[in-house]
Chain A
Amino acid sequence: GESVGLHLPTLSVQEGDNSIINCAYSNSASDYFIWYKQESGKGPQFIIDIRSNMDKRQGQRVTVLLNKTVKHLSLQIAATQPGDSAVYFCAEWNQAGTALIFGKGTTLSVSS
């Protein structure tokens, strides 16, 4: 079946450090992945996406890496700031393209 999960439920970093949040997926046919950020009391917010024909994509302070061989993707946040504190979810579309499935989430806590 299709499932998306994250390796660690929580990650605590110091302000200014780089953060790496990991996600493993099981559907080898998945071809599009999205990272969402959810701040407390709010809806998920799009951060960055990546298609399976890429292995790396960069945004502003964020980079997503995709390793299709081991079905793993990661979100790297450079110079983490207190405002980055949130729950981060990876998500993938199901095979039919009719549902975006979320993983379990990693809570990132940034201390200054």
Chain B
Amino acid sequence: EPEVTQTPSHQVTQMGQEVILRCVPISNHLYFYWYRQILGQKVEFLVSFYNNEISEKSEIFDDQFSVERPDGSNFTLKIRSTKLEDSAMYFCASSETRVHGELFFGEGSRLTVL
């Protein structure tokens, strides 16, 4: 069964360092998403991406965040200068269609900022 894969599964970084989280969406999917989940809290929308453009971003997705689809298969989330409060699970998701489509989630990347 096709799945969304994410790397790394866990990354520990120092405050102020840049982090790149990587995702390989399901191959025929056209819509890509990043979500964040702080421990014990709800799944928060960060950004959606379609046709090499951001479709929507939340208030969390400030200038420190960026997304890219560098090579037609990977979808990356970059945090330019990490803060302690960026510590969370980051989930990538993809879907074949919009709105009435099911989002398929990866297993997540745990980011710990020290």
Q: Are A101 and B45 in contact (CB under 8 A)?
A: yes
Q: Are A42 and B42 in contact (CB under 8 A)?
A: no
Q: Are B42 and A98 in contact (CB under 8 A)?
A: no
Q: Report which of B43, B56, B107 forms a contact with A102, defined as CB distance below 8 A.
A: B43
B113 at the interface (CB under 8 A from A): no
* Residues from 73 to 113 in B contacting A, C-beta threshold 8 Å: 91, 93, 98-100, 102-108
Tell me how many residue pairs across A and B have CB atoms closer than 8 Å. Answer: 58
Q: Are A49 and B58 in contact (CB under 8 A)?
A: no
A32 to B98 CA separation, bound complex (whole angstroms): 11
Q: Are B55 and A98 in contact (CB under 8 A)?
A: yes
* Residues from 45 to 77 in A contacting B, C-beta threshold 8 Å: 45-46, 49, 51
Q: Report which of A43, A100, A103 forms a contact with B42, defined as CB distance below 8 A.
A: A103
- Residues in A with CB closer than 8 Å to B4 are 43
Q: Are A99 and B103 in contact (CB under 8 A)?
A: no
Q: Are B44 and A102 in contact (CB under 8 A)?
A: yes
CB-nearest residue of chain A to B91: A43
Q: Are A46 and B56 in contact (CB under 8 A)?
A: no
Q: Are A43 and B98 in contact (CB under 8 A)?
A: no
CB-nearest residue of chain B to A44: B105
17 pairs from A and B in contact (CB 8 Å cutoff): A32-B99, A34-B102, A36-B43, A38-B43, A41-B107, A43-B4, A43-B106, A44-B43, A44-B105, A49-B100, A49-B102, A89-B43, A93-B99, A96-B56, A100-B103, A102-B35, A103-B42
A95 to B84 CA separation, bound complex (whole angstroms): 32
A83 at the interface (CB under 8 A from B): no
A108 to B44 CA separation, bound complex (whole angstroms): 20
CB-nearest residue of chain B to A34: B102
A46 to B26 CA separation, bound complex (whole angstroms): 15
- Residues in A with CB closer than 8 Å to B105 are 43-45
- Residues in A with CB closer than 8 Å to B91 are 43-44
CB-nearest residue of chain A to B55: A98
CB-nearest residue of chain A to B57: A99
Residue among A36, A100, A105 with most chain B CB within 10 A: A100
